[in-house]
Structure 1
Amino acid sequence: MARETQLHLTSHHRLPLAAEAARRQSWSNTNWKTRHPAVQLHHHQYQAPQTGNPVAPSQRLILLTSQICQKVGKHFGDEICHKEPKYIVFGSSLGKLLQWCHCQSCGSVDIHQVWTTTGTLLKIHQTCDSCLQATEWQSQPSIGNFPAGNMLLSAGILFAGASPTKVLRVLNHMGVMTYVKRTFFSHQRDILQPAIQGVWTQQQAAHIAMLQTEGRPLVLGGDGRADSPGHCAKFGTYTTMELESNVVLDLQLVQSNKCGGSYHMKLEGLKRMVAFFEDILEIGTLVTDRHRQIAKWIREYAVHKTSLLGRS
């Protein structure tokens, strides 16, 4: 869980303390447009991208990120806000804005404020000293029980392949309030990885259905990659791409101690890939590297599957 901090402000001294709050607290995310409908974006009006238009190859990663974020939002049943623009706001500037706040019931400007932060989320609880009317403002919406800013920061780190340690260190050097590294790994394990798995399964099924409709033999290219160099790797992935459509169709994760050692992981990944496509699609051409185990396996076993492999 992200750490919470609090700061008490009154109308007489909230400006100096607001500047100190920018260094001590982590800011949060809330849907300010729904709480303040009169506020509008004039210079950079936000417009959600329209769906159904052709997507360039350079935009595929952005589209997949959008689909994953939407799946996270649907999982919790909340409005997703990953396309909404975000800004870095200094505590002193926010304090100046709050000077214009007054009680909506009696109009008094004597308002006691409590600033509470959870990761990147900022909550400001205001209480009128005259009529004791209480209101709360949040800087971000929520995704389920999680602040959206915390979740989107974790998603951005994971999808970009960045190091959470370095990214969080950069934000800490800037004075931007954020969560600890343990929170990132919690988001990754419990939310982001299941969402990625769901989007991958959906995309894979759609591409396979399209190829089944076309009815042509596949032109597959595959290769393996281990998690470390040498012969001491524990995990390896065998990636298979359909070369005519330029789409990755299959990923097989192989553990070395289940296939006789790291040297055999590439062959095991190929066998699993062929078994996966054997009953659903026809493989016309198989392109691999000059791995001797794969050449031997194709010569002794796959040559008998002429209806499956065709030429190799």
Structure 2
Amino acid sequence: MKNLEGCPTMKPKLRPNAVPDIPLTQPTTAEPRPPIPKRGGYEKRRQAEILQLANDNYKRDTECVQLQVPDSTTEPELPTSNVTEKNTSKVTMVTKTTPPPSLKAVKHKKSQSYLRPQQRTRKHQTDLKITQPSATYSTIATQTDDDITKCTCASIVTTTTNINSAQNSDDDEVFSHADSDEEYQPSDDDQSSDDDGDDNGEHKNYRLNAKATTEEQKQFLVSESALAELLSVCRYCSSEAVPVIQVSKGTLIVTNSICVNGHLSIRKSQSSHNNLPWSNLMTATAIMLSGCNATSVLRIFDHLNVRMFSMRTYNRLQSLYVSPAPTMAWDAEQSSLLEQLRGSDVILPSMDLQTKKILDFQLIQSNEVKGSTHMELEGIKRALEFLKDYVNIKEVVTDRHSSIKKYMRISQCDKKHLFDVWRVAKGVSKKSEAAAKKSGGKDIRPWIKSIVNHIYWISSSCGMDGDLKAAKWLSIMNHMCNKHEGHSSIYPKSDHGELSQDRLVEGSVPYKKMKAVVESKYLLTDVPKLSPVYQTYALEVFHSVMNNFAPKSTHFFYSSMLARLCVAALHYNENCNRDRAYTKDGVQCFSMVYPKAKKGKEAVVKSRPSPATYDYVLLIKQAVVSRKEDDCSSYSNTAGDVQILQNHFPVSLTQTFEPFQKADLIERHRSRCQR
């Protein structure tokens, strides 16, 4: 900034006559000025502080403080100049005050001395560039017995460690119990849940195993920054090194680290077999065993920036190594089951309904038969032909497929052919619902649930008596008209009284529509063959498992589809007879669901099973590793072996089609005249 003359102002300087800011006292005989009394509300608020100050002065100066009450007859002698009198109606406080010293006018010049002593920093007195290791270390490892049979203080050590880690943690979830609301009431699902949220319990204090097999060793994700920090230190001289990824092959990376002293360190992220990284093969195996789509899984890895192989590599690994392994594992499982059941009576369809185990399944391609409508019949023919050499087929429970009924009546007349009650009830329910939607049929809808229950009651109460089943089924029309006697000679009278539901008028439009459904020719033929005990609900569960491993909306080649069906069969057989889940207090767990058939009007509970197991996964992984190491160590040998296996597969659907050239199709697509 400049002054009016245009010249810059000078910085302020210390004057020669400056003196330090040291107060100098002067003796004085003048009377001190009495303090101005404070009145009003402020004085009332300060009374407590004044009393406390008087008490402190009394203790510090050891002066006598006398309290005078106005009503007292005797007054103590008080100093004349040192009394501060307050309101006479209250307690009078007497203190001795000392007049403040008189001060000269002073000039403040800040501090004029060095307050911080001088220091000397010697820093490091060693050479940072060490060309050779400065010390030699000898690792003795642990000197205790690894086979500890009993540890009495393990729980105490674990508890202490958890407390310390919780106190030093920045995670808010660690103190979720301490900060939670005392009035919080957990829901029923929270109280019945056994999950404590600790999904890493098995990996705490986990000791890395350098000798773990390929199929058993664990995989961990390591970020680029953490890997760079780990590889930036030379393992020979502990100096700084520059890590560089030299080779990247799918999940495998090979790094070179060169330090300032010229030491070279080469590290591999995993082991390989004939230039094939094991994690590439295990990842391709895991994709199939989980039932996932390879395209989606590879996209997940791409979004995570995780190095992964391409789709072409996955298809090659799947066809050469992965797909044959589940087939071999299923063959071993199937042989074991059939040997256990050899010569015994079983009830099919394609599974033993007594043990709920899958004994056999057949994969049919549409070009193997006349059409898609013949595929189900061809499948049951092959299954019965295969199983007849091992077990004695006593009964066969299927749906009401017309071609299957004819085949069982003519070619398999020595076996009892029964129908699943759930499928029959489902068909009757749909037809009744369709009749209720027509004009004049709204009175049928309240009876649909009773009709379905009536079908289940018929199958469970009549045993194998087909005539009694038919008679009870026809009596439903009299039930709806509130008639309970005179049904037939076999079933003359109902076992219950009058019904509370609104009855149908005989001869009315709803009655005629319902009679057409009940007295259907095909239904009256199938009702006597309702299965009294065994149903195919377990088979429907297996179908849902199949849809998980081999979705219908996804195209798979024949070999891949067969492998995924083998995985589904292995998974179902291992988990079909799981125990019920219980809480820690021994209470059985239930789940509330809304059935689709009830359309949200009713809710039911289902017992929750225990968690599924996956022991078959390790067997399949071992088969994949064995196939790579022993049987087919190279791509050429593996391709020849796969070609032999594929000779038993049916020809593809496109093999009989007329071949086209892609270039010609592109040109025709771009040409205006060819459209």
Q: Same fold (TM over 0.5)?
A: yes
> Which has the larger displacement, 135-144 or 286-295?
135-144
2:255 equivalent in structure 1: 124
Cα 1:289/1:88, change in 2 over 3 Å: same
Cα 1:100/1:129, change in 2 over 3 Å: closer
CA–CA separation in structure 1 for the residues paired with 2:358 and 2:329:
14
Cα 1:217/1:280, change in 2 over 3 Å: same
The residue type equivalent to 1:160 in the other structure is S
User: Percent identity at matched positions?
Assistant: 30
CA–CA separation in structure 2 for the residues paired with 1:279 and 1:118:
49
2:335 equivalent in structure 1: 205
The residue type equivalent to 1:248 in the other structure is I
Cα 1:159/1:122, change in 2 over 3 Å: same
Equivalent runs, 1:61-140 vs 2, <5 Å: 80-103=213-236, 107=237, 109=239, 113-115=243-245, 116-126=247-257, 135-140=265-270
Deviation for aligned residue 1:280: 2.1
Structure 2 residue 344 is the aligned partner of structure 1 residue 216: yes
Cα 1:89/1:108, change in 2 over 3 Å: closer
CA–CA separation in structure 1 for the residues paired with 2:346 and 2:370:
30
Deviation for aligned residue 1:127: 5.4
Structure 2 residue 241 is the aligned partner of structure 1 residue 43: no
Structure 2 residue 421 is the aligned partner of structure 1 residue 288: no
Structure 2 residue 287 is the aligned partner of structure 1 residue 157: yes
2:316 equivalent in structure 1: 186
Q: Which has the larger radius of gyration?
A: 2
The residue type equivalent to 2:215 in the other structure is H
Whether contact under 8 Å (2:232, 2:241) holds in the other structure is no
The residue type equivalent to 1:91 in the other structure is E
Deviation for aligned residue 1:143: 5.2
Whether contact under 8 Å (1:267, 1:293) holds in the other structure is yes
1:251 equivalent in structure 2: 361
Whether contact under 8 Å (2:365, 2:375) holds in the other structure is yes
Whether contact under 8 Å (1:219, 1:286) holds in the other structure is yes
Deviations 1:107-128 (A, max 9, x none): 3746564412111111123456
Whether contact under 8 Å (2:347, 2:354) holds in the other structure is yes
The residue type equivalent to 2:276 in the other structure is F
Cα 1:300/1:140, change in 2 over 3 Å: same
2:304 equivalent in structure 1: 174
Deviations 1:198-234 (A, max 9, x none): 101111111111111xx4201112xxxxxxxxxxxxx
Task: Kindly indicate which of the two structures has a greater share of residues assigned to strand.
Answer: 1
CA–CA separation in structure 1 for the residues paired with 2:204 and 2:383:
52
Whether contact under 8 Å (1:81, 1:148) holds in the other structure is yes
2:271 equivalent in structure 1: 141
CA–CA separation in structure 2 for the residues paired with 1:185 and 1:174:
22
Deviation for aligned residue 1:134: 5.0
Deviation for aligned residue 1:310: 5.4
Whether contact under 8 Å (2:395, 2:417) holds in the other structure is yes
Gaps of 5+ in 1: 1-36, 49-77, 222-239
Gaps of 5+ in 2: 1-140, 143-201, 419-675
The residue type equivalent to 2:376 in the other structure is K
Cα 1:206/1:46, change in 2 over 3 Å: farther
Cα 1:79/1:260, change in 2 over 3 Å: farther
Count of residue correspondences:
217
Deviation for aligned residue 1:94: 0.9
The residue type equivalent to 1:100 in the other structure is V
Whether contact under 8 Å (1:157, 1:167) holds in the other structure is yes
The residue type equivalent to 1:86 in the other structure is Q
Cα 1:47/1:117, change in 2 over 3 Å: closer
Whether contact under 8 Å (1:165, 1:181) holds in the other structure is yes
Structure 2 residue 373 is the aligned partner of structure 1 residue 263: yes
Whether contact under 8 Å (2:397, 2:417) holds in the other structure is no
**Higher-RCO chain (CA-CA 8 Å, sequence separation at least 6):** 1
Deviation for aligned residue 1:257: 2.1
Deviations 1:117-145 (A, max 9, x none): 111111123456756x6553211233554
Whether contact under 8 Å (1:108, 1:130) holds in the other structure is no
Cα 1:121/1:47, change in 2 over 3 Å: closer
2:407 equivalent in structure 1: 297
Whether contact under 8 Å (2:228, 2:243) holds in the other structure is no
Cα 1:296/1:144, change in 2 over 3 Å: farther
Cα 1:292/1:80, change in 2 over 3 Å: farther
CA–CA separation in structure 1 for the residues paired with 2:233 and 2:274:
32
The residue type equivalent to 1:216 in the other structure is S
Whether contact under 8 Å (1:102, 1:110) holds in the other structure is no
> Which has the larger displacement, 147-156 or 133-142?
133-142
Cα 1:172/1:101, change in 2 over 3 Å: same
CA–CA separation in structure 1 for the residues paired with 2:265 and 2:338:
53
CA–CA separation in structure 2 for the residues paired with 1:220 and 1:143:
45
3-state SS of 1:218 partner: strand
Deviation for aligned residue 1:47: 9.6
Cα 1:200/1:145, change in 2 over 3 Å: farther
The residue type equivalent to 1:286 in the other structure is V
- TM-score by length of structure 2 reads 0.30
3-state SS of 2:360 partner: strand
Whether contact under 8 Å (2:257, 2:266) holds in the other structure is yes
Whether contact under 8 Å (2:231, 2:257) holds in the other structure is no
Cα 1:256/1:202, change in 2 over 3 Å: same
Cα 1:110/1:82, change in 2 over 3 Å: same
CA–CA separation in structure 1 for the residues paired with 2:292 and 2:249:
23
